[in-house]
Structure 1
Amino acid sequence: MHITAHDLVFLIPMALVGVIAMGSIPVTAKYLRISCRTIGALIGALVAVLVLEALPMLI
């Protein structure tokens, strides 16, 4: 896996999308809300890394 600085242009927005998507889940506990946002950021970053690694194979 070779991630360079210009890959952050894709990685950071995908993590932000994960935070927004998982943060929209209605929960009452603050700890659970923070956990959902953290998991969303991790999932978004993982999807971004998978896409960045798959793009060279598709071209």
Structure 2
Amino acid sequence: MWHFQAHDLVFLIPMALVGVIAMGSIPVTARFLRISCRTMGALIGALVAVLVLEALPLLI
């Protein structure tokens, strides 16, 4: 069950940016690979944020 609220975006957006920065730092020469790495980083960062936001109430 998803329990998203507006203030959850305060956590989702920075995690997606961290994913973009982390995956964007992988040295590749092709432009397509660089864009693909950044896109995958954003998706992975957002997925980790969702997992943390959903698991946080279980820890409290």
Q: Tell me if both proteins adopt one fold, taking TM over 0.5 as the criterion.
A: yes
How far apart are the structure 2 equivalents of 1:28 and 1:3?
38
**What's the counterpart of residue 5 of structure 2?**
4
- The offset of 1:2, in angstroms, is 1.7
Name the amino acid aligned to 1:24.
S
- Residue ranges of structure 2 left out of the alignment (5+ in a row): none
- Residue ranges of structure 1 left out of the alignment (5+ in a row): none
Q: CA RMSD in A?
A: 0.4
Give runs of ≥4 in structure 1 deviating > 2 Å: none
Matched length: 59
Name the amino acid aligned to 1:42.
L
State the percentage of identical aligned residues.
88
**What's the counterpart of residue 49 of structure 1?**
50
Name the amino acid aligned to 1:28.
T
How far apart are the structure 2 equivalents of 1:3 and 1:28?
38
1:23 aligns with 2:24: yes
- Counterpart of 2:4 in 1: which secondary structure? coil
Name the amino acid aligned to 1:34.
I
- Counterpart of 2:43 in 1: which secondary structure? helix
